[in-house]
A and B are shown apart, each in its own frame.
Chain A
């Protein structure tokens, strides 16, 4: 489609991270004409999540730091004499020190080829067998030549071989694509087949006891099952993001799971923290006395504001010092400080700690036994959900769309347009730009912090229990006082973020050094990095540490909390959104989005609920029911329902809720 982009909007949003997406949807919802662009070919910016192959290309891209393509200055001609240009970044600089390590077995056994004879699992019925045959035929095609095709539609249906890394996925468990052929050769080895079978047989329990040896080839083959987030966050069940999702009905685009366990790391051991009333009473680790102490203290925290005399004297102290004065054992103090309040031992005062504990307790029980929710398919879904809402209300979406510069009117000092990579000039009243799009020149005086991140694919949970499907959060306190604590979120395969029999483990802390330097010591405390030798010694049946199969470390720029005056020469109608911050929740992004929206449109409601699609009544009465002659392709015979034939208004409008 030679579809042309309109050249006039009310609001242009550049970047599809969480705050930008919320703003876009709020603006569109209130009737503004919104253009939402991202220079990348995926949604979310640094809030994105990737399949395994997608992450590999992201890693490559950020390691190469290729030179910026030749700067075409043609757009300068479009700037009038009364105008000035603020050029935008050509290259994202927010990710540094990217390092990936594979610990899983990478040897491509020689017998891998033989699996070609049994191309795939007979899992999905007869229809797949023909597809399998056809797919294996495709394998023999000279696929290289096809991958030269442009990304347009030049290739004909018969050659649906994927030709970029993004699409290194299998269709219905079929094989891999051409470019990664060297890897997918191994995909049909025996172990892969075995693991595949367990998907349909109920050996989940057995698998939990005896972890399968997962090879790198399997991870690549099942790469589509991974949704690996660049940021690791959770939703507080009484946090601003949940409130916004439910208020705006954007929640209908996503599904959530409860975090199932709060963990603590003490004396080299991982243990579960009892936090709900039931947990406390059922805990086998706590003594009766401890149970009473903990319940008493938590009950107090819920209404601490009503008892100022209890903590008045400790206001100036740190929370950890305050806890020592309470009737709590060292064990309980650790739980409360690190796993419930999750505040810094060295820097958080009593009020901070009490407030955090209260928030945690208030969130408890709204949706389950822990205060947190995690979105299925990863946090990266959330910005997309807001984008969908924006689009439903008429917002226009363009990925792979770069902006050369913002055009500022010299006299008024306001930004009046932008010029995109096609040289099209698009005017608007307001511009929302994510920080990473601003050029070095604009950001000269800005001082950024960094976030250290690690993502691990592992073969077992850090704390094994009866169920292998647990979502856990664990805070590892710093060894040295003053260092940042490391936050760990372990996701199981039912979160739809990793393949079966693996776990995805996210590490986050504010950076003091490179991500690897910050985080690897903690990784080593919890995991075994040497897959092979560990297995030998484990033959005795001992419960060794979980093994890391693959890991990536990187530093991400934290552009939160920056005063807008530190950006150079920013017109007043340009709003700068932050990338992800280091906090566990998403409050910062939601607050920022709401603040910017209110500044732009002070009289408008922020994301009010849209009409329920099921409540919309259409006035159409022109139903002309066609003769439903169901016969051919389906083998099930249907009868036209009485409703169809008799009822003229066939759109059934009802009060029902929709739920899968």
Chain B
């Protein structure tokens, strides 16, 4: 672990209706690819990208829903210990926007209350099919105290900006927390993942 080559590690979790382009956003950002018409990637749990921001190496661990959103069956544990949530809808699909309150309810229930949430309207390359106006989305995100961004995974519009801005916010949040929160207070993420707990034997 001493070889860890980064200053910060953040877990970013994507949520939103099926088909809004979550996986495409992740693949665009991490691999620079737009896989048209491709289903969920089998066997890939999360993707990693390390970026450098102001000289700090930031490792982003980006988690996708693994298709569990299809029938509204996301596990609570998916939300645990996420530092940021990217709530995505499709600007050409009114339904995906209308479902946002339901997603917010899940966030309220299961995510840490310190989580940063970004609302993303994806598929702006299909402007002619737009069903959700930018203004409506902005009003909504403002009311819910979320950041808002419109993206196109296909045209690679705003995708880097989305993740890099988020990384910046996470860094400043993390800095603040170490200043304010240096008391031994139980926080999520304080537990240990079992593979890394140290070993020492009875004898």
Contact = CB atoms under 8 A, between A and B. Distances in A.
Given A393-B42, A644-B51, A650-B32, A633 B165 contact: yes
B5 A654 contact: yes
Instruction: Count chain A CB atoms within 10 A of each CB in B17, B40, B73, B168 and give the residue with the most.
Output: B73
Given A171-B113, A384-B75, A622-B33, A496 B43 contact: no
B157 interface: yes
A469 interface: yes
Interface string B71-86: 1110111101100000
A367 B199 contact: yes
Instruction: Classify chain A: how many residues form its interface, as a range.
Output: 35 or more
A397 B169 contact: no
A627 B176 CA distance: 29
Report the interface size class on chain B: 35 or more
7 contacts: A171-B104, A200-B181, A255-B189, A256-B191, A384-B76, A654-B50, A659-B1
Interface of A: 1, 3, 5, 43, 51, 124, 127-128, 130-131, 134, 151-160, 162, 166-167, 169-173, 199-202, 204, 224, 242, 245-246, 251-258, 276-277, 302, 361-362, 364-368, 373, 375-377, 381, 384-385, 387-388, 391-394, 396-401, 469, 492-494, 496, 500, 610-611, 613-614, 616, 618, 620, 622-626, 628-630, 633-634, 636-639, 641-644, 648, 650-660
B131 interface: no
Nearest to B109: A169
Contacts of A398: 71, 73
B68 A391 contact: yes
Contact of A401 (B59, B71, B189): B71
Given A156-B98, A252-B195, A384-B78, 16 more contacts: A51-B109, A153-B100, A201-B183, A245-B194, A253-B77, A257-B192, A366-B199, A398-B73, A399-B72, A610-B43, A630-B164, A643-B51, A651-B48, A652-B49, A656-B4, A659-B1
Nearest to A200: B180
A639 B54 contact: yes
B66 interface: yes
Interface string B148-160: 1100000011111
A167 B109 contact: yes
Nearest to B50: A652
Nearest to A49: B76
A628 B160 contact: yes
The 8 nearest A-B residue pairs measured at CB: A623-B32, A641-B52, A494-B186, A255-B191, A153-B98, A391-B66, A384-B75, A202-B183
B80 A377 contact: yes
Nearest to A166: B109
B108 A651 contact: no
Contacts of B100: 153, 157
Contacts of A396: 67, 70-71
A157 B97 CA distance: 9
Contact of A393 (B43, B68, B78, B184): B43
A294 to B, nearest CB: 13
Contacts of A159: 101
Nearest to A151: B102
A51 B79 CA distance: 15
B52 A642 contact: yes
Nearest to B96: A1
A643 B50 contact: yes
B156 A624 contact: yes
A638 B55 CA distance: 9
A492 B50 CA distance: 36
A251 B54 contact: no
Nearest to A253: B77
